[in-house]
Amino acid sequence: LRESFRERLFVVLLTLVLVLIALVALYPVVNTAALSLSAGYMATRGKVFLWPMEPNLESWQLVLLSKPLWRSLFNTVYVAGIGSLLSLAFTAIVAYPLANRKFRLRKLVMILVVITMIFRYPIIPYFLVVKSYGVMNSLWALIVTHLMVGYNLVIMRTFFQQLPEEMEESVVIEGANHVQILFR
């Protein structure tokens, strides 16, 4: 298939625009890398531009040997890992009955969940609750207060609603209870 002149010109112009956007996006990354690999006094004088001046690894040593960096990395991984697992478990436990058509209060509960998604909690009562539970200044303040997120609950409830009822009925006939159905 032959491309017309206009199509080739469009492809060339589009390629040039995309290359320009990529260069603009890469500039801060390359400049920061050059600053981090340059001597400190060269960086503070503004002599570094896209290429390291008097390259050394002192700044990298300072950062990588810093205990607060590793502590904060551990805190991030811990809160993300434990928080995600616990949030998944709590959300599944609440979403499963909300997906069941036999649960009569499911519409009321979902309205309350949506209201909490629309109107955020006031910060001072939130602070007082965290303080009263004794998790102030701990990683658990980040984990426990976000165990149940309304948006995640809506998504998981929708997932459970899309499972065929026949599948649940067949498992009940086999003798499973609701807890076994949820976790298996």
pLDDT tens readout for residues 49-83: 888 888 888 888 888 999 999 999 999 999 999 99
Supply the DSSP symbol for 2. Answer: P
> What burial class does residue 111 get, using C-beta atoms within 10 Å of its C-beta: 0-12 exposed, 13-18 middle, 19+ buried?
exposed
At residue 72, the pLDDT reads 94
High-pLDDT (> 90) share of the chain, % = 47
CB 33 within 8 A of CB 51: no
Rounded to whole angstroms, the Cα distance separating 134 from 43 reads: 45
pTM: 0.69
Mean pLDDT of the chain: 90
At residue 1, the pLDDT reads 59
At residue 59, the pLDDT reads 85
pLDDT of 137 higher than 80 = yes
pLDDT, tens digit (0-9, with 9 covering 90-100), for 68-124: 999 999 999 999 999 999 999 999 999 999 998 888 999 999 999 999 889 887 889
Query: Which pLDDT band holds residue 45 (cuts at 50, 70, 90)?
Result: confident
Q: Does 177 or 73 have the greater pLDDT score?
A: 73
CB 53 within 8 A of CB 39: yes
